[in-house]
């Protein structure tokens, strides 16, 4: 089965051709990082306009790179949420039009399911059930993946997502957008000399607003005397410890032997190293996607869409035209 898959939830216009859910025939991404860098973050209206400009060209390039024709496509997978509503609408509208023209099914796909499925592209042997730690600019979730299309959130952030906290700390430290990788780069030259707070709840939820506020207060208090690299190191390591503390609690509580890392922050070097060390110490297997599949891309959407397709979670657009983008939709809904 060959699927053409579209991802446009934020500032990447991405299209991928996937065969049988795990073989990547093409994975084309048109990024807008340089455009939004001028504003210090993603401007939703600009992102939507760039998606409109780029999407036809990205689709054509993906089909060409995969060496297939439109007649070879069996279904269209598309991210329909969560994300920026205007950006999502571009991808969903294009997918609906293409599915209608080709008279093939459309598979609405959850963005976070895609991030989890990125690991299927990296590990041929990986199968559910497992625990997923999803960490990105908009999400910090612990998800019990029961099978390819069944998910249960067992822990989540109560305020800032971890990627959002990284970006806010980057602004305080005067680092350019995108902030997360810049904080990590700066942290490589620092030492953990600052004591920062951790939040613990009776359940598996996270909170990162406290540590973000602590960093802001330290930066304002110390001014020119601030040791930026040390503060970056202290922040990064403390946040990763908090993420993995709850992850280990979930592993022990659910007696799970596989943990999957997913989302844009899964590219973080410190988090990946700490997870591997934790897995070795506590005897579970750790999985993390290739770096090229960590940030938003359509290959991950293609893998998730395939499993939704074979599970029957699709429809014929000629019979049902009311598919819409949904900015805030929970995984499992």
**Can you spell out the DSSP letters for 12-70?**
EEEEEEEETTTEEEEEEEEE-HHHHHTTTS--HHHHHHHHHHHHHHHHHHHHHHHT--G
Q: What is the pLDDT of residues 289-321, one digit of tens each?
A: 999 999 999 999 999 999 999 999 999 988 878
Report DSSP state, residue 217.
H
| pLDDT, position 178 | 86
- 10-45 pLDDT, tens digit per residue, is 999 999 999 999 999 999 999 887 788 778 888 889
Q: Which domains does the chain have, with CATH numbers?
A: 2-116+294-316 (3.30.420.40), 128-289 (3.30.420.40)
Which residue ranges of the chain lie beneath pLDDT 50?
Answer: none
d(CA 28, CA 31) in angstroms, rounded, equals 10
Q: In what order do the strands lie in the sheet containing 315-316?
A: 23-31, 12-19, 2-7, 75-81, 105-110, 315-316
């Amino acid at each position: 089965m060959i699927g053409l898959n579209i991802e446009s939830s934020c500032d990447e216009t991405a299209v991928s051709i996937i065969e049988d859910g795990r073989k990547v025939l093409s994975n084309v991404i048109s990024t807008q990082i340089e455009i939004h860098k001028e504003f210090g973050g993603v401007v939703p209206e600009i992102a939507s306009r760039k998606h409109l400009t780029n999407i036809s060209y990205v689709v054509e390039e993906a089909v060409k790179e995969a060496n297939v024709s439109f007649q070879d496509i069996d279904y269209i997978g598309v991210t329909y949420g969560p994300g920026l509503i205007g950006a999502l609408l571009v991808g969903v509208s294009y997918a609906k039009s293409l599915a209608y023209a080709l008279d093939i099914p459309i598979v609405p796909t959850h963005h976070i399911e895609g991030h989890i499925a990125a690991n299927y592209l990296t590990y041929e042997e990986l199968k559910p059930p497992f625990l997923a730690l999803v960490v990105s600019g908009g999400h910090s979730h612990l998800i019990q993946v029961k099978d390819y299309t069944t998910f249960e959130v067992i822990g989540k952030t109560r305020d800032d997502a971890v990627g959002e906290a990284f970006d806010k700390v980057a602004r305080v430290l005067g680092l350019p957008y995108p902030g997360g990788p810049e904080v990590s780069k700066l942290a490589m030259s620092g030492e953990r000399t600052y004591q920062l707070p951790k939040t613990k709840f009776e359940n598996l939820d996270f909170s990162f607003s406290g540590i973000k506020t602590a960093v802001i207060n330290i930066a304002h208090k110390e001014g020119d005397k601030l040791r930026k690299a040390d503060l970056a190191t202290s922040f990064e390591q403390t946040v990763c410890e908090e993420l993995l503390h709850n992850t280990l609690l979930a592993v022990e509580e659910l007696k799970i032997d596989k943990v999957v890392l997913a989302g844009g922050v899964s590219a973080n070097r410190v988090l990946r190293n700490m997870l591997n060390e934790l897995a070795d110490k506590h005897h579970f297997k750790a999985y993390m996607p290739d770096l090229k599949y960590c940030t938003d891309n359509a290959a991950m959407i293609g893998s998730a869409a395939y499993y939704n397709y074979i599970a029957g979670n699709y429809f014929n657009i000629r019979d049902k035209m009311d598919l819409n983008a949904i900015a805030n939709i929970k995984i499992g809904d």
